[in-house]
Each structure stands twice: as structure tokens, then as C-alpha cells.
Amino acid sequence: MEKLAALYTPHATVRTGPAATIDEFINRSKDNAIVHVAVHAVIDPRVPAHSSLYFSPSALNAAQLLKRLKPGRTRLVVLGACSSAGGLPVGPVGVGPFVRPLVANGVPAVIGSLWDVDDATAEQLLVSFHQHYRKGDDAAVAMQQAQIELLRNDSRGLRSVLAWAPFQVIGHGASPFPASR
């Protein structure tokens, strides 16, 4: 998280451990253009609304997220959590159970993973994503650039489709930063 905070200093607020609570997430989400959440997620394929994001010390399920999140100035939410945009089939609800409440509450773009991911690999991809987004690329272009970087990496593990392909952009996430090119 330090690498991400450095990209957005002095406007970044980092909450880890006991300070990374549901209330902090809900309250800060409406006031910040970019929200990055790195938590554990569990998908409930039978009742997608019961799928949960695990904060300290408790979990927030998708139904609670829909009720508690209030529209604000958030332009992009990055869900750095396993299967946060997909995972197991979720039936008639369509898009992953965490994406729907965010979009329904006015967030124009959400990034999440389609399957379980390795924390270290996800960190490398998402830091690269944020570097490109900070330079003014919209979310889809920033993600594409980050995925290409992993695909061209010297490490065979990072070049694997399992490393770079799970994270997807849902919606349109124009960067609030001027393009640097």
C-alpha cells in the first residue's frame, strides 16, 4: 500500500490492520475520487448478496454494501480481492456481487478480479495500473498497459495469463489527472 500512497501523496489516506474498518471504507469512499481496497473476499455462489469483503474486524456483504454506500465523488474503486468481479457463477444477478452495488451507487468504474489471485502478483499489476492511471490514462488503458508490462516481464510466472488476466475494468474510469503525454 505504501507504493500506491506514494503515487497519490499528499492526498492518499492508508488504513491497514485494525484501522481498516468497514466504517472507514464507507465514509472515505464517498469523499475520494479513487478508492483502492485490498482485502479478502469470499463469493457465495448460491446467494451472491451474501458474498463478503473482510475488513477489520468484520465482513461487509454485498447486500450491506448496496445499502450503506452513498453516492459521492468516487470515480474509481479498485477491488484488490480474490474473485471480486466474478469468481464462481453468480446466476441471474449478472456482474460480480461487489461490482453491482458500487455501480448502482454511482461509481462509474470498478476494477476487480475474475478469479483468486496471488497477493504479490496482484500488487505488481495494480501498482503498475495506478502508475498509468496517475499519468492520465483512463482505467481501461491503464489496465491494458499494466497487463502488457506483466506479459513482457522477465519472470515466466508474471507472464502467465493467470497473473495478468484476472483484473478487469467494468465501466468507464476517466482519470482525474491530466495526461502527461
Q: Where are the domains of the chain?
A: 2-117
**48: Cβ–Cβ under 8 A, 6 or more apart, which residues?**
62, 90, 91, 93, 96, 97
**Comparing C-alpha atoms, which of 173, 83, 165, 171 is closest to residue 130?**
173
65-84 as b/e, with b when 16 or more CB fall inside 10 Å?
bbebbeebebbbbbbbbbbb
Predicted local distance difference test score (pLDDT) of residue 20 = 95
Residue type at 5? A
List alpha helices for the chain, DSSP H: 2-8, 22-29, 62-68, 99-104, 119-134, 139-151, 156-159, 161-164
Low-confidence ranges of the chain (pLDDT < 50): 90
Specify the pTM: 0.92
Predicted local distance difference test score (pLDDT) of residue 180 = 77
Predicted local distance difference test score (pLDDT) of residue 122 = 93
How far apart (Å, rounded) are the C-alpha atoms in residues 54 and 17? Answer: 11
Distance of CA 108 to the CA centre of its chain: 13
Q: Which residue has the cell 465514509?
A: 27
Which stretches of 43-131 are assigned E, i.e. beta strand?
52-54, 59-61, 76-79, 109-113
How far apart (Å, rounded) are the C-alpha atoms in residues 74 and 102? Answer: 10
Predicted local distance difference test score (pLDDT) of residue 19 = 95
